[in-house]
């Protein structure tokens, strides 16, 4: 029988995933070939990683990634080369791996002595660099045929994905740093060892 601590964490995780999904449905702007800036839709997933051990963060991030995959299945089916391999690579790079990385933000943050720096670094490396790298690879391997004539595929993929990933990461980072000022949430690593047993409820 699961402990009350685990039940609280599961409940908290379910709430955060649900909030993240709802926020992801609202876009500040959407790129023509996929990729969008949202009102910090990844923040709830990062919050789980900051409050609890990495396994909870990654588990919630994987659930979120699968929901995003179902929502974005049209993009997977729109790959230039219509074969199963291309679709699987697209699903992995653009959704599953890209979002699963968010779960490690807390682990990265807790390795830093400075709370704000740790949080910012965790978000930068996961929501920022991690997702950008996955989308960049996907752009080169899968979406290369859509690069404008005369453009190097790698350069185009980098520029295209920076256009949405950079502002989305900045918005998420600012939102998380502001939310962390609420002490009761225990988001700053020095106030949360990763074994926080109290829930948000």
132, part of any domain? yes
Banded pLDDT at 186 (limits 50, 70, 90): confident
Residue 66: what pLDDT?
96
154, part of any domain? yes
Number of domains into which the chain is organized: 1
- Enter the pTM of the model: 0.86
**Better pLDDT: 7 or 95:** 95
State the pairing for strand pair 36-37/29-30: antiparallel
Average of pLDDT values for 195-201? 39
Segment 179-187 long-range contacts (CB within 8 Å, at least 24 positions apart) = 179/43, 179/47, 180/50, 180/115, 180/116, 180/119, 185/47, 185/51, 186/51, 187/47, 187/50, 187/51, 187/119
195, part of any domain? no
Task: Classify 23 as helix, strand or coil.
Answer: helix
Contact 172, 42 (CB under 8 A): yes
Residue 190: what pLDDT?
52
156, part of any domain? yes
Measured CA to CA in angstroms, residue 21 lies from 3, 34, 56, 74, 162 at distances of: 27, 17, 17, 17, 22
CATH number of domain containing 98:
1.10.1760.20
Banded pLDDT at 189 (limits 50, 70, 90): low
199, pLDDT greater than 50: no
Domain boundaries, position 85: 10-26+39-190
201, pLDDT greater than 60: no
Average of pLDDT values for 154-165? 96
For the chain, the average pLDDT equals 88
120, part of any domain? yes
112, part of any domain? yes
173, part of any domain? yes
Question: Tens digit of pLDDT for each residue in 19-46?
Answer: 999 999 999 988 888 889 999 899 999 9
Question: Tens digit of pLDDT for each residue in 124-153?
Answer: 999 999 999 999 999 999 999 999 999 999
54, part of any domain? yes
């Amino acid at each position: 029988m699961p402990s009350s601590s685990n039940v609280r964490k599961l409940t908290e995780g379910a709430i955060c995933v649900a909030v993240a999904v709802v926020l992801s449905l609202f876009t500040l702007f959407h790129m023509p070939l996929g990729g969008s800036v949202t009102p910090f839709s990844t923040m709830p997933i990062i919050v789980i990683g900051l409050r609890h051990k990495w396994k909870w963060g990654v588990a919630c991030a994987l659930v979120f990634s699968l929901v995003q995959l179902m929502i974005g299945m049209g993009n997977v089916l729109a790959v230039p080369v219509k074969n199963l391999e291309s679709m699987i690579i697209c699903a992995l790079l653009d959704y599953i791996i890209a979002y699963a990385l968010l779960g490690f933000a807390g682990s990265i943050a807790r390795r830093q002595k400075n709370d704000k720096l740790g949080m910012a670094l965790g978000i930068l490396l996961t929501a920022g660099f991690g997702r950008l790298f996955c989308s960049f690879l996907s752009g080169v391997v899968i979406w290369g045929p859509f690069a404008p004539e005369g453009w190097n595929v790698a350069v185009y993929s980098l520029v295209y994905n920076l256009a949405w990933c950079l502002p989305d990461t900045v918005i998420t980072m600012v939102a998380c740093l502001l939310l962390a000022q609420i002490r009761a949430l225990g988001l700053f690593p020095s106030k949360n060892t990763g074994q926080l047993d109290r829930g948000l409820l």
